[in-house]
């Protein structure tokens, strides 16, 4: 079809050329949309959770482009009650006039022809663009339906599609005066995707990142689905500098935030821009996040190597010139990056993405551009701030010494065969199966639970490693101290992937590593310490989804000689209420019995109110006063408000609660549920015998396990720093703020 070479003038003037040409255009649309639907993964990566959310990024990227071009200041993203999603912006609006060669409204062309999302005049290159940069037409092809409204030229235009084909042609539906903008609503095609819903956390992380990367753009995000109703606005005038302070919010800074930016034409005279922001903290870890055209380049590339080379060069030169670094100090780039948080963001006209996941920037010219702006400006910064330079270099020297000590420690353990899995730790009770895809390693708190687990397990596929005492907090220890810790060394050896430079995920001896700790404060602490270790030192285990949390039951409930295990407090309440409502009549305000469904909803709500009230009281407040104090803020106050609104929605008043009538009702129902029931609360894994532990927690047929995932790596980093790091005040504040929402502590 691209061979069809009709002169443009003939096309636009000769009316009778239209039908056949229109047909050709139709075929182009048909083929394009079908191609995407046939091989969706080729266009958006995959059809799971990642691809599902990628649809949103493709649409938002168009709005970001409008913002980068200077026409849009606000982007509104909403998850709708029906599971569809809306992206609205105040940009110029997608053009709606007749397309000169396609003889259809331009908007139809933009939304149905592959790669037609770019600007028509060719003067603008598209700098944003999703990972695959496929454009909004792909989203259309993969949506069960899409509805688009455009405000442009004083009119509101509307068009609808299904699976990439027009179902309602473009029409004018109203007037809008001077206003302009685009609103796209779509519902992904569930015959193509395995994912079923948009996740708040995933979208939040990306939208926040986009707001940091594109300073000044205001992104408003709202979740109207289910009873969640979250809402957040991301707007950062400070751009990537604010990104750095966000990333470092719980760390102790050793330097101010240092910002560089520059621009340079590439070989064809088109500008490449680079922006770098960095800060040193007293942490032992490094955060390097690089972006090209707003795409997170996870595998790095030329912008990262340009930055690293310049940092090493500059520190070495400044250190040598000022006699802070000697030849024998033998510093490496890694040493110079300990405690560093850096964002590198480049905008490149024709980016080349390489690597396994196509997230490695390949454009060679970028290396020099980033390198030269960093070298020049960092040297100037050091010269003007010698005290900061000295602090940074001292940290670097300490890192080098620790690295040398760690190397010696590794060398000696390797000689003993510990690191390569040749000699497995004596405490490990290994399984017989050798295919790691079929095996599981249980990290068990305490020797007694370890004993039960060892007796109860499936010897073929389940290995047990009992852990004695506390695991080292790797957030506060350098590598040398870490490798001197027995517990840590044993875990490294058992897993078999090695460590640091020798790390090799393909050597994993188990594809499930299950943390099994008691359901008490100590257990939670050990779990967090282990997660910190995996997250900081073996992140690939988490990325691959190899790390799990066992879910041992909290209660054993017996009734009529039948016993049952209950996992959580919430589940127990639910159980008691269900049993309690059997043969029990709950009366409403009008003295009429409530339907079972309504009674259940009421009891659930009352149990929630009871829980919130308790938490509020523990913090020294009176729920009733808090509710009626217009100045009251905080999670407790807002939660109570919502709960009492729901209660009023069911026809009850505050007095019904605070007067004691409703709490009495709840107690009655619970007491009724408890009749003939015996309950036992487990305080530790050690209380279960081998069979019981296997049945409830380890048996693959029956158990519940949570897979540890990373929806928001930035949040996870902050949380580990916060929970395990040195700063006391932010931790106290965090725990206080989240006392009502303990679930937040599990990431
Ligand atoms: C093509 C050309 C122009 C704008 C857009 C597309 C556009 C697309 C989307 C998608 C979501 N929001 C959007 N906003 C704009 C340029 C229009 C002009 O030159 O006036």
Q: How far, in Å, from the CA of 174 to the mean position of ligand 1?
A: 20
End-to-end CA distance of the chain: 52
Q: What is the per-residue pLDDT across 367-409, written as a single tens digit (0 to 9) for each?
A: 999 999 999 999 999 999 999 999 999 999 999 999 888 888 7
Q: How far, in Å, from the CA of 238 to the mean position of ligand 1?
A: 26
8 A C-beta contact, residue 534 and residue 542: yes
Q: How far, in Å, from the CA of 129 to the mean position of ligand 1?
A: 13
Query: What is the average pLDDT across 114-131?
Result: 46
Nearest CA owner, ligand 1 atom 2: 119
8 A C-beta contact, residue 610 and residue 703: no
Is residue 442 in some structural domain? Answer: yes
Q: Which residue has the tokens 């399984």?
A: 431
On whether both 278 and 349 belong to a single domain, the answer is: yes
On whether both 459 and 512 belong to a single domain, the answer is: yes
Is residue 725 in some structural domain? Answer: no
Instruction: Tell me the CATH number at 631.
Output: 3.30.300
Q: In the sheet where 440-445 sits, what is the strand order?
A: 462-467, 440-445, 512-516, 547-550, 705-707
- Indicate the angle between helix axes 302-321 and 386-415, nearest 10 degrees: 110
Ligand 1 pocket test, candidate residues 62, 102, 130, most atoms within 8 A of CB: 62
Last residue of a domain, one of 662, 681, 700: 681
Q: How far, in Å, from the CA of 4 to the mean position of ligand 1?
A: 28
Query: What is the average pLDDT across 465-492?
Result: 87
Closest to 33 in 3D by CA, of 101, 116, 98: 116
Q: What is the per-residue pLDDT across 62-71, written as a single tens digit (0 to 9) for each?
A: 999 999 899 9
Nearest CA owner, ligand 1 atom 16: 119
Of 266-280, 399-413, 418-432, 467-481, highest mean pLDDT:
266-280
Q: Which atom of ligand 1 is nearest to the CA of 182?
A: 12
Q: How far, in Å, from the CA of 63 to the mean position of ligand 1?
A: 8
Give the range of the structural domain holding residue 431, as residue numbers without chain letter. Answer: 416-552
Ligand 1 pocket test, candidate residues 182, 185, 210, most atoms within 8 A of CB: 182
Of 125-134, 148-157, 247-256, 525-534, highest mean pLDDT:
148-157
Helices (H), 362-501: 364-384, 386-415, 447-456, 479-483, 486-495
Q: How many domains does the chain divide into?
A: 4
Q: How far, in Å, from the CA of 110 to the mean position of ligand 1?
A: 9
Higher local confidence (pLDDT), 402 or 30:
402
Is residue 525 in some structural domain? Answer: yes
pLDDT the model gives residue 415: 67
Per the annotation, the verdict on 518 as an active-site residue is yes
Is residue 700 in some structural domain? Answer: no
Is residue 11 in some structural domain? Answer: no
On whether both 599 and 497 belong to a single domain, the answer is: no
Is residue 690 in some structural domain? Answer: no
Is residue 453 in some structural domain? Answer: yes
Show the 3-state SS of 490-538. Answer: HHHHHHCCCCHHHCCHHHCCCCEEEEECCCCHHHHHHHHHHHHHHHHHC
Which among 263, 404, 502, 520 is annotated as catalytic?
520
On whether both 51 and 173 belong to a single domain, the answer is: yes
On whether both 604 and 566 belong to a single domain, the answer is: yes
pLDDT the model gives residue 458: 97
Q: Which atom of ligand 1 is nearest to the CA of 118?
A: 1
Nearest CA owner, ligand 1 atom 6: 94
Q: What is the per-residue pLDDT across 645-664, written as a single tens digit (0 to 9) for each?
A: 999 999 999 999 999 999 99
pLDDT the model gives residue 635: 65
Which among 65, 518, 610, 712 is annotated as catalytic?
518
Q: H-helix or E-strand containing 306?
A: helix 302-321
Q: 220 to each of 128, 234, 297, 314, how far by Cα in Å?
A: 19, 6, 25, 40
Structure confidence at residue 6 as a pLDDT band (50, 70, 90): very low
- In the chain, % of residues over pLDDT 90: 64
8 A C-beta contact, residue 481 and residue 554: no
pLDDT the model gives residue 329: 93
By three-state DSSP, how is residue 231 classified?
strand
Structure confidence at residue 115 as a pLDDT band (50, 70, 90): low
Last residue of a domain, one of 552, 570, 598: 552
Is residue 732 in some structural domain? Answer: no
pLDDT the model gives residue 417: 58
Tokens found for residue 72: 């849009």
Q: What pTM was computed for the model?
A: 0.78
On whether both 337 and 393 belong to a single domain, the answer is: yes
Q: Which atom of ligand 1 is nearest to the CA of 184?
A: 11
Our separate counts of H helices and E strands in the chain read 26, 23
Q: How far, in Å, from the CA of 595 to the mean position of ligand 1?
A: 53
Instruction: Tell me the CATH number at 377.
Output: 3.30.230.10
Ligand 1 pocket test, candidate residues 64, 73, 89, 92, most atoms within 8 A of CB: 92
Q: What is the per-residue pLDDT across 657-691, written as a single tens digit (0 to 9) for each?
A: 999 999 999 999 999 999 989 999 998 898 999 99
Q: Which atom of ligand 1 is nearest to the CA of 152?
A: 20
Tokens found for residue 552: 């041992």
What is the CB < 6 Å shell around ligand 1?
A: 62-63, 66, 89, 91-92, 94-95, 110, 119, 136, 182, 184
Q: Which atom of ligand 1 is nearest to the CA of 136?
A: 10
Q: How far, in Å, from the CA of 42 to the mean position of ligand 1?
A: 25
Q: How far, in Å, from the CA of 116 to the mean position of ligand 1?
A: 11
pLDDT the model gives residue 131: 44
Is the pLDDT score of 128 beyond 50? no
Nearest CA owner, ligand 1 atom 8: 94
Instruction: Tell me the CATH number at 536.
Output: 3.40.50.670
Beta bridge partners of 85: 79, 186
Instruction: Give the Cα separation of 173 and 150 in Å (integer).
Output: 10
Q: Which atom of ligand 1 is nearest to the CA of 95?
A: 17
Q: Which atom of ligand 1 is nearest to the CA of 87?
A: 11
Q: What is the per-residue pLDDT across 630-646, written as a single tens digit (0 to 9) for each?
A: 777 766 788 888 899 99
On whether both 211 and 278 belong to a single domain, the answer is: no
On whether both 562 and 623 belong to a single domain, the answer is: yes
Per the annotation, the verdict on 445 as an active-site residue is yes
Ligand 1 pocket test, candidate residues 93, 111, 126, 181, most atoms within 8 A of CB: 93
On whether both 420 and 539 belong to a single domain, the answer is: yes
Ordered DSSP codes for 235-278:
--TTTHHHHHHHHTTTS-BSS--EEEEEEEE-TTS-EEEEEEEE
pLDDT the model gives residue 416: 64
Which among 383, 420, 522, 736 is annotated as catalytic?
522
8 A C-beta contact, residue 636 and residue 608: no
pLDDT the model gives residue 481: 87
Q: What is the per-residue pLDDT across 574-599, written as a single tens digit (0 to 9) for each?
A: 999 999 998 888 888 788 899 999 99
Is the pLDDT score of 569 beyond 80? yes
On whether both 514 and 592 belong to a single domain, the answer is: no
Higher local confidence (pLDDT), 458 or 31:
458
Ligand 1 pocket test, candidate residues 85, 94, 100, 133, most atoms within 8 A of CB: 94
Computed over every residue of the chain, the mean pLDDT equals 87
Rounded to a whole number of angstroms, the CA Rg of the chain reads: 30
Q: How far, in Å, from the CA of 91 to the mean position of ligand 1?
A: 7
Q: What is the per-residue pLDDT across 416-468, written as a single tens digit (0 to 9) for each?
A: 655 555 578 889 999 999 999 999 999 999 888 999 999 999 999 999 999 98
Nearest CA owner, ligand 1 atom 5: 94
On whether both 545 and 560 belong to a single domain, the answer is: no
Q: Which atom of ligand 1 is nearest to the CA of 106?
A: 1
Q: How far, in Å, from the CA of 296 to the mean position of ligand 1?
A: 24
Which among 445, 487, 608, 717 is annotated as catalytic?
445
Ligand 1 pocket test, candidate residues 55, 63, 66, 90, most atoms within 8 A of CB: 66
Instruction: Give the Cα separation of 534 and 531 in Å (integer).
Output: 5
Q: How far, in Å, from the CA of 118 to the mean position of ligand 1?
A: 8
Instruction: Tell me the CATH number at 193.
Output: 3.30.565.10
Last residue of a domain, one of 681, 706, 737: 681
Q: In the sheet where 165-175 sits, what is the strand order?
A: 165-175, 155-162, 143-152, 181-188, 85-89, 74-79, 218-223, 231-234
Q: 147 to each of 192, 219, 220, 504, 621, how far by Cα in Å?
A: 19, 21, 20, 47, 49
Q: Which residues of 637-666 are buried (b: 16+ CB within 10 A; e: fewer)?
A: bebbeebbebbeeeebeeebbeeeebbebb
On whether both 225 and 284 belong to a single domain, the answer is: no
Nearest CA owner, ligand 1 atom 4: 94
């Amino acid at each position: 079809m691209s061979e069809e070479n009709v002169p443009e003038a003939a096309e636009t003037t000769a009316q009778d050329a239209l039908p056949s040409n229109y047909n050709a255009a139709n075929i182009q649309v048909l083929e394009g949309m079908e191609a995407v639907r046939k091989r969706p993964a080729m266009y958006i990566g995959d059809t799971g959770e990642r691809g599902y959310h990628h649809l949103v990024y493709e649409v938002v990227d168009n709005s970001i482009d409008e913002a980068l071009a200077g026409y849009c200041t606000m982007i509104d993203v909403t998850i709708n009650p029906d599971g569809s999603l809306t992206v609205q912006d105040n940009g110029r609006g997608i053009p709606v006039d007749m397309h000169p060669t396609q003889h259809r409204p331009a908007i139809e062309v933009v939304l149905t022809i592959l790669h037609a999302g770019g600007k028509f005049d060719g003067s603008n290159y598209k700098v944003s663009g999703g990972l695959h940069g496929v454009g909004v037409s792909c989203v259309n092809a993969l949506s069960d339906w899409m509805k688009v409204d455009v405000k442009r030229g004083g009119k509101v235009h509307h068009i609808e599609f299904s699976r990439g084909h027009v179902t309602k042609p473009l029409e004018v539906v109203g007037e809008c005066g001077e206003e302009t903008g685009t609103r796209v609503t779509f519902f992904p095609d569930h015959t193509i995707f395995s994912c079923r819903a948009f996740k708040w956390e995933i979208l939040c992380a990306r939208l926040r990142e986009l707001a940091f990367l594109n300073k000044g753009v205001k992104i408003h995000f709202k979740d109207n689905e289910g009873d969640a109703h979250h809402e957040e606005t991301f707007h950062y005038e400070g751009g990537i500098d604010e990104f750095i302070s966000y990333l470092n919010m719980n760390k102790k800074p050793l330097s101010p935030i240092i910002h560089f930016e520059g621009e340079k034409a590439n070989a064809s005279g088109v500008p490449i821009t680079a922006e770098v922001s960095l800060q040193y903290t007293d942490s032992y870890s490094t955060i390097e996040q690089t972006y090209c055209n707003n795409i997170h380049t996870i595998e790095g590339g030329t912008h990262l190597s340009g930055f690293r080379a310049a940092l090493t060069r500059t520190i070495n030169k400044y250190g040598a010139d000022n006699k802070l670094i000697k030849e024998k100090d033998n510093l490496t780039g890694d040493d110079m990056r300990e405690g560093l948080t850096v964002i590198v963001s480049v905008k490149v006209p024709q980016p080349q993405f390489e690597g396994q996941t196509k997230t490695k920037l390949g454009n060679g010219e970028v290396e020099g551009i980033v390198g030269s702006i960093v070298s020049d400006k960092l040297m100037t910064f050091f010269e003007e701030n010698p005290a900061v330079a000295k602090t940074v270099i001292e940290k670097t020297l300490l890192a080098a010494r620790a690295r040398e000590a760690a190397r010696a420690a590794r060398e000696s353990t390797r000689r003993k065969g510990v690191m390569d899995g040749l000699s497995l730790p004596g405490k490990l009770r290994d399984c017989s199966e050798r295919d790691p895809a079929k095996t599981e390693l249980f990290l068990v708190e305490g020797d007694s639970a370890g004993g039960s687990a060892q007796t109860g397990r499936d010897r073929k596929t389940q290995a047990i490693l009992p852990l004695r005492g506390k695991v080292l907090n790797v957030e506060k220890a350098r590598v040398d101290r870490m490798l001197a810790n027995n517990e840590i060394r044993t875990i490294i050896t058992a897993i078999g992937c090695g460590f640091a430079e020798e790390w090799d995920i393909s050597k994993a001896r188990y594809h499930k590593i299950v943390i099994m700790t008691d359901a008490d404060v100590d257990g939670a602490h050990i779990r967090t310490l282990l997660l910190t270790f995996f997250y900081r030192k073996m992140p690939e285990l988490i990325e691959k989804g190899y790390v799990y949390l066992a879910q041992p039951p909290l209660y054993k409930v017996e009734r009529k000689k039948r016993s049952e295990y209950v996992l959580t407090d919430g589940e127990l309440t639910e159980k008691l209420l269900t049993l309690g409502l059997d043969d029990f009549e709950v009366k409403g305000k009008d003295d009429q019995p409530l339907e079972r469904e309504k009674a259940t909803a009421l009891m659930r709500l009352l149990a929630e109110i009871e829980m919130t009230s308790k938490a509020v009281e523990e913090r020294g407040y009176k729920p009733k006063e808090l509710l009626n104090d217009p100045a009251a803020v905080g999670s407790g106050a807002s939660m109570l408000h919502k709960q009492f609104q729901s209660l009023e929605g069911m026809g009850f008043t505050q007095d019904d609660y605070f007067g004691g009538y409703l709490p009495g009702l709840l107690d009655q129902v619970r007491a009724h549920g408890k009749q003939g029931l015996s309950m036992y609360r487990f305080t530790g894994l050690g209380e279960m015998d081998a069979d019981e532990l296997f049945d409830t927690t380890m048996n693959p047929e029956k158990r519940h396990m949570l897979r540890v995932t990373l929806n928001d790596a930035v949040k996870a980093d902050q949380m580990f720093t916060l929970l395990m790091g040195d700063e006391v005040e932010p931790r106290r504040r965090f725990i206080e703020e989240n006392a009502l929402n303990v679930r937040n502590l599990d990431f």
